[in-house]
């Protein structure tokens, strides 16, 4: 045992040293020379959807800088990995604003994180553009408290709209078609998550309207690993359409759907199936799966889409851009326009005002935000017509490719039934 004085001395030294290190770290310069404009991007780096957010932002920033930046000032991107954690994100947001001096933050595809960051946007008085999460709570929050949440913009449509569009797709491709009109008995198949609640409501309302009967409604935990009981129920209900609302899960239900040869068409919203890597991830089990998404393998929604698609796939080796790459890319340009119009975004309120006035044509269609008085406050305006708002396509996996089946204008093919689905049709 050491002597008391020795101990106290070593402890004191330790505390002093630790304190010194801490202080020197804490008083690092907070504001840098104002030449470049800093923008923060936040997402989980380990996830495909996170990577595509970072990539799209990087791509857009480079393009903008190459084109002369914001009135001559360059954009500087700061990337923050949040590990899916809300607490981590709020810390990163503070660092971004108070340490790295960003004028706006964008990214995020998980609703928990998006919701947790909203209060911080108002506290840090920094615009936040949510580009990947679909929860309708985001615009609802802005509408309920526009004064506080005016900094929050949602540059991706909310899940209720996604559901509506899926109904429209089902109507157009199934009930309106002679060949597939027998596909009119649907099961709603949703992961138990907040974003699917409005989806379910929407499905329940719109499916009967388009002549599809809802024969069962299944919500399951996102932790579900074995889908046998669920598929057994679907078979029993004698359904031939699965109207899905899945994003946290994706690979597992699709693989088991194929393995167990569930005789129902897999359609609706399947977040992960939108990724070009989904074929490999499911080892091809996704053959025949239909899903809707805002943008897809460069489908020329606008004249800017193909160029973006080409630049993205050329630059990054992670495959084709996922949906949130399109939305993030558009959000970057929305931000750029607003920065130009608000003198570099030094004043956050001015920047918000400028963002509210956004109106240009992006890669998913026209980009403009709803006013705070609208139902979908500060959300990007949606319209089936790309010249009027963010748009939507539906595709089916066929032979390893995502083949667009809707809207007709862009369609590259027709629905093909997997063998085990068509067999069941008399």
DSSP 123-188: HTT--EEE-S---THHHHHHHH-HHHHTTEEE-S--HHHHHHHHHHHHIIIIITSTTTTT--EEEE
Pick from 38, 52, 126, 135 the residue near other proteins by CB under 8 A: 135
Structure tokens belonging to residue 128 = 């936040």
Query: CB of 269 within 8 A of CB of 163?
Result: yes
| Residue 182 beta carbon to other proteins: minimum distance, rounded to whole angstroms | 21
Rounded CA gap, 379 and 184, in Å? 32
User: Which residue, 215 or 255, has its beta carbon nearer to other proteins?
Assistant: 255
What is d(CA 335, CA 223) in angstroms, rounded to the nearest whole number?
37
Find the binder of other proteins among 37, 39, 42, 44 (CB under 8 A): 44
Three-state secondary-structure class, residue 95: helix
Q: Which of residues 237-256 bind other proteins (CB under 8 A)?
A: 249-252, 255-256
Question: Nearest distance from residue 320's CB to other proteins, in Å?
Answer: 15
CB atoms within 10 A of CB 216: 16
Contact with other proteins (CB under 8 A) among 68, 71, 98, 409: 98
Q: Based on DSSP, count helices (H) and strands (E) in the chain, helices before strands.
A: 15, 14
Nearest to 41 by CA among 120, 129, 117, 101: 129
Of residues 344-373, those binding other proteins (CB under 8 A): none
Q: Does 122 bind other proteins (CB under 8 A)?
A: yes
Residue closer to other proteins (CB basis): 127 or 407: 127
x/- mask, other proteins, residues 280-299, rule CB under 8 A, reads xxxxx---------------
By CB under 8 A, the residues from 5 to 34 that bind other proteins are: 5-8, 10-12, 14-15, 18-19, 22-23, 25-28, 30
Q: Which is nearer to other proteins, 197 or 336 (CB)?
A: 197
Shortest distance, position 290 Cβ to other proteins, whole Å: 20
Scan residues 260-279 and list those touching other proteins (CB under 8 A).
260-261, 272, 277
280-302 burial code (b ≥16 CB/10 A, e <16): ebbeebbbbbbbbbbbbbbbebb
Determine the size of the site formed for other proteins (CB under 8 A).
93
Contact with other proteins (CB under 8 A): which of 36, 74, 91, 410? 91
Interaction residues for other proteins, span 174-233 (CB under 8 A): 192-195, 197, 218-230, 232-233
Which is nearest to 256 in space by CA: 278, 280, 225, 277? 225
């Amino acid at each position: 045992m050491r002597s008391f004085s020795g101990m106290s001395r070593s402890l004191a030294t330790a505390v002093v040293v630790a304190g010194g290190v801490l202080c020197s770290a804490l008083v690092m310069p907070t504001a840098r020379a104002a030449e470049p404009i800093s923008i923060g991007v936040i997402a989980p780096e380990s996830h495909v959807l996170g990577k595509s957010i970072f990539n799209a932002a990087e791509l857009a920033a480079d393009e903008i800088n190459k084109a002369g930046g914001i009135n001559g000032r360059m954009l500087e991107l700061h990337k923050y990995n949040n590990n899916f954690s809300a607490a981590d994100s709020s810390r990163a947001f503070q660092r971004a604003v108070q340490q790295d001096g960003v004028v706006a933050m964008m990214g995020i595809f998980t609703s928990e994180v998006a919701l947790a960051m909203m209060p911080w946007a108002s506290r840090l008085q920094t615009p936040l553009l949510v580009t990947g999460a679909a929860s309708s709570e985001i615009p609802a929050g802005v509408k309920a408290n526009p004064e506080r949440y005016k900094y929050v913009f949602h540059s991706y449509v909310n899940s209720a709209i996604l559901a509506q569009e899926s109904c429209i797709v089902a109507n157009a491709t199934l009930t309106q078609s002679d060949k597939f009109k027998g596909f009119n008995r649907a099961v709603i198949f949703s992961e138990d998550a907040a974003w699917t609640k409005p989806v379910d409501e929407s499905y329940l309302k719109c499916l009967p309207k388009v002549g599809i009967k809802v024969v069962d409604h299944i919500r399951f935990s996102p932790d579900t690993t074995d889908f046998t009981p669920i598929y057994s129920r679907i078979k029993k209900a004698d359904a031939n359409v699965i109207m899905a609302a899945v994003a946290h899960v994706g690979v597992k239900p699709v693989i088991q759907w194929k393995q167990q040869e569930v005789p129902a068409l897999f359609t609706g919203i399947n977040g992960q199936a939108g990724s070009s890597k989904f074929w490999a991830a499911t080892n091809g089990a996704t053959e025949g799966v239909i899903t809707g998404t805002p943008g897809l393998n460069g489908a020329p929604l606008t004249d800017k889409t193909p160029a973006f698609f080409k630049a993205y796939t050329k630059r990054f080796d992670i495959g084709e851009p996922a949906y949130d790459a399109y939305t993030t890319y558009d959000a970057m340009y929305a931000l750029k326009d607003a920065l130009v119009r608000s003198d570099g975004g030094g004043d956050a309120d001015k920047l918000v005002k400028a963002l509210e006035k956004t109106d240009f044509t992006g890669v998913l269609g026209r980009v403009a935000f709803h006013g705070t008085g609208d139902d979908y406050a500060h959300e990007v305006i949606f319209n089936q017509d790309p010249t009027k708002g963010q748009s939507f396509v539906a595709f089916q996996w066929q032979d390893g490719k995502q083949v667009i089946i809707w809207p007709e204008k862009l369609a590259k093919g027709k629905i093909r039934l997997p063998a085990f689905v068509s067999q069941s049709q008399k």
